[in-house]
């Protein structure tokens, strides 16, 4: 454009000089030629100015697009960093939940062993008590061979032993039943805690899968 403007000025200067120096015939012969040339130059100048405006508009659009993509890229970087931090936090939570699960499972195993031991002890003591009552009955039967009238004494002693045995059996059964129920409640509570922990671990695993898919999606973008 500057070049054409300079050329236009040069032509205007030449045209002025020719008008001052030339004759009327020369002016009449050259005037249409110069006017045609000037018109051509003006058309070229208008075309160049229009092209310049179009290129400026495309440049502004491209700069806006580049700025938009730059902002999106920075947002994705920030999202990726936040997702990685959240993934690390969730991994720590999963590890803690797993350790809690292992601890709860160990407690459940311990309580199960204790219940089995208590049940075996109860059965052994009950069998021993029944054996003691049977031995007492045998001794009393052997005492009946004497000539003394010990029927009432034997009946009374037998009743006393049976009462003691029944009371001891009832107390033992009551104590073992309460202990067993307490252990069952404790085991049930730990079982509920274990189920809740399993549910939390499953939920955390699903969240980890979702975050991994989001991270993969962000990496692909």
- Please give the residue that has the higher pLDDT: either 25 or 111: 111
pLDDT at residue 138 in the model: 47
For the chain, the average pLDDT equals 81
Mean pLDDT value across residues 19-25: 63
Q: What pLDDT, in 10s, does the model give residues 44-56?
A: 999 999 999 899 9
Task: List C-alpha distances in Å: 62 to 2, 54, 56, 192.
Answer: 26, 12, 10, 61
What would the two tokens of residue 128 be? 């021993």
DSSP 150: -
pLDDT at residue 22 in the model: 60
70-84, 137-151, 198-212: least confidently modelled range? 137-151
5-19, 135-149, 168-182: least confidently modelled range? 135-149
pTM: 0.35
Q: How far apart are CA 212 and CA 221, in angstroms?
A: 14
Angle at CA of residue 213, ends 210 and 214, nearest 5°: 85
Q: What pLDDT, in 10s, does the model give residues 85-119?
A: 988 888 888 888 888 888 888 888 888 888 888 88
pLDDT at residue 149 in the model: 56
Q: What pLDDT, in 10s, does the model give residues 116-153?
A: 888 888 788 777 777 765 655 544 444 444 445 567 77
Q: Which residues contact 129 (CB under 8 A, 6 or more apart)?
A: 165, 168, 169, 172
Q: How far apart are CA 30 and CA 15, in angstroms?
A: 9
Q: Hey, which bits of 59-162 come out as E strands?
A: none
DSSP 102: H
């Amino acid at each position: 454009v500057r070049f054409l403007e300079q050329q236009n000025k040069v032509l205007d200067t030449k045209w002025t000089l020719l008008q001052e120096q030339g004759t009327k015939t020369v002016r009449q012969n050259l005037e249409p030629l110069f006017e045609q040339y000037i018109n051509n130059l003006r058309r070229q100048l208008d075309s160049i100015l229009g092209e310049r405006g179009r290129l400026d508009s495309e440049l502004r659009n491209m700069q806006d697009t580049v700025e938009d993509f730059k902002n999106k890229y920075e947002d994705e970087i920030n999202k990726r960093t936040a997702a990685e931090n959240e993934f690390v936090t969730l991994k720590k939570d999963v590890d803690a939940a797993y350790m809690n699960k292992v601890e709860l499972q160990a407690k459940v195993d311990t309580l199960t062993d204790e219940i089995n031991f208590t049940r075996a002890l109860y059965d052994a003591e009950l069998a021993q008590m029944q054996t003691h009552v049977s031995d007492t009955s045998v001794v009393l039967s052997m005492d009946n061979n004497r000539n003394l009238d010990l029927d009432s004494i034997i009946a009374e002693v037998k009743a006393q032993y049976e009462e003691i045995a029944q009371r001891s059996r009832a107390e033992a059964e009551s104590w073992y039943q309460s202990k067993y129920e307490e252990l069952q409640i404790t085991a049930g509570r730990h079982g509920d805690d274990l189920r809740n922990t399993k549910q939390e671990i499953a939920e955390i695993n699903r969240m980890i899968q979702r975050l991994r898919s989001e991270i993969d999606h962000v990496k692909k973008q």
